[in-house]
Amino acid sequence: MSATTHDVEESLQPIPEGQRTTHLSGQFWIWAGANIAPINWVLGALGISMGLGLADTLTVLVLGNLIGMAVFGLFVLLGQRTGTTGMLLGRSVFGRRGNYLPSAIQAVVVIGWCAVNTWIVLDLVMALFGELGWVDPAASNVGWKIGVAFVIMAIQVAVSMAGYKAISAFERWTVPPTVVVLVLMSVVAWFQLDIDWSYAGPEGTALSGTERIVAMSGVMTAIGIGWGLTWLTYAADYSRFVSTSVPRKKLYLVSALGQFIPVVWLGVLGATLATKNGSVDPGQLIVENFGAMAIPVLLLVLHGPIATNVLNVYSFSVAAQALDIKVGRRKLNLVVGVLALAAAVFFVFQEDAAQTLDSWLVGVVGWVATWGAIMLVHYYVFERRTRRFDHLFDAVGSKRLPDVNGKALFAFAVGVVCTWMFLNGAVPALQGFGSRALGGFDVSWLAGSVAAGLTYYLLARKSHKQWIIRQQEVQATTAPDNAPAPLAPTA
């Protein structure tokens, strides 16, 4: 009996080749839609608010994302190659139950992102409603904010519940109109608002020397290299639906450009607008400059969190199932919707708490860089020749998977510590002594990834060869006659 695509997605199982797609437009629009969101122009304005000039901000934005998205593309290819989700890939690395740790972290992080992406547009929506005369923009409008948050959350949960095809179709049909609005906004901003393209920072207080380098390193972590890295854990969740017959180079380029173009575009827009008032507040940035375009901008703003959060809601469900939570994906979509809505409503009453969490979420690049480095070493060095991954779906106790890989977990701990040591976050708890010793210079993503990847390679290179041999022996005695070829040992 053939399973439907819906059945395949409801619980974790390999995506059969016959149910994968050969069309890449869905991949492009999924990643583009996820990044055409207000949070990206807010982060684009970050460099200006920190005292950097426009040229420095744009340099870090472009170069950082070239590197970050290049790494992101490698994780997209892992999804196509394995047919499995990002969190399940960790079972070969951290162990069948050792993988619970990164899976739990991912589940919590996506709830946080879902809440923040919803909350961050509420003030902007109220400002646009005020421009239309629907509300008093000077009032608190708590009821309106909660109502808008509820509608946004309901839509994104409904789309996610319908599965990958619905997500792909939603992005494919709704992103192009928002791109048109974005083009209009960009034209107005860059040709009618008299942007100072030579802006070098606040007059008389422009950063220079060490302070300038420190600020650039912080922007690099927030929306340069760091932004691309934050998507590593999501990549395989959606590229697993792409047929292995699709050329890897095409998939890589389409997915990486789907991320790179909107992130840089919105980042440049946010940075150029911020040169006029130094603000990173989306309401102030947009309403002051685009009040006459309130309705189309409102549509863009409301679409932003939905297009991003359908991925957060969906990825929460597959991360939770990687924890062996025996609940269907649809029910888990409802769970994350309720939790994220509750958090977003809390932020409405606790603005300081929301800003602190937002700063912390930007800092989660630390754990992702660490996790990503270990995964790259494992799948692009140790298992670069492996073509069969059905063992990732084995139950607890499988002889084909280690139960807990202490070496990988130790490397993960080393990476997280090194990341914190060189992190210069917005709150004291995220300011490591290594960064302080360097005058605030932030190389957290580099320190964490290098430390974790190198530690894992040195600890696991010998034992992994022995594990491959044992796994081949197990597969040889249990695989049916028509099973795919067994794992090929790496050199």
Given a cut of 90, whether residue 44 has pLDDT beyond it is no
| Alpha carbon distance 40, 231 (integer Å) | 14
Higher pLDDT, 140 or 232: 232
Give me the residues paired with residue 431 across strands.
424
Alpha helix locations (H) across 224-350? 225-229, 232-239, 248-277, 282-290, 294-321, 329-349
Given a cut of 90, whether residue 276 has pLDDT beyond it is no
| Alpha carbon distance 27, 34 (integer Å) | 11
pLDDT-based confidence at residue 47 (cuts at 50, 70, 90): confident
pLDDT-based confidence at residue 120 (cuts at 50, 70, 90): confident
Q: Are 135 and 144 in contact (CB under 8 A)?
A: yes
Higher pLDDT, 274 or 451: 451
> What confidence score (pLDDT) does residue 204 get?
62
> What confidence score (pLDDT) does residue 339 get?
95
Q: Are 336 and 312 in contact (CB under 8 A)?
A: yes
Of 421, 447, 450, residue with least CA distance to 436: 421
346 burial (CB, 10 Å; 0-12 / 13-18 / 19+) is: middle
Q: Are 372 and 236 in contact (CB under 8 A)?
A: no
| Alpha carbon distance 85, 455 (integer Å) | 25
Q: Are 256 and 27 in contact (CB under 8 A)?
A: no
| Alpha carbon distance 268, 264 (integer Å) | 6
Report helix, strand or coil for 362. helix
Given a cut of 80, whether residue 175 has pLDDT beyond it is yes
Side chain identity at residue 120, one-letter code: I
| Alpha carbon distance 132, 479 (integer Å) | 66
Task: For residue 210, give Cα distances in angstroms to 368, 437, 438, 442.
Answer: 28, 13, 10, 12
Burial 363-381 (b: 16+ CB within 10 A, else e): bbbbbbbbbbbbbbbbbeb
Of 60, 66, 28, residue with least CA distance to 44: 60
Given a cut of 70, whether residue 351 has pLDDT beyond it is no
Terminal CA-CA length for the chain: 40
Name the residue with tokens 């924890």: 323
Given a cut of 90, whether residue 387 has pLDDT beyond it is no
> What confidence score (pLDDT) does residue 474 get?
57
Q: Which domains does the chain have, with CATH numbers?
A: 5-351 (1.10.4160.10)
Side chain identity at residue 172, one-letter code: R
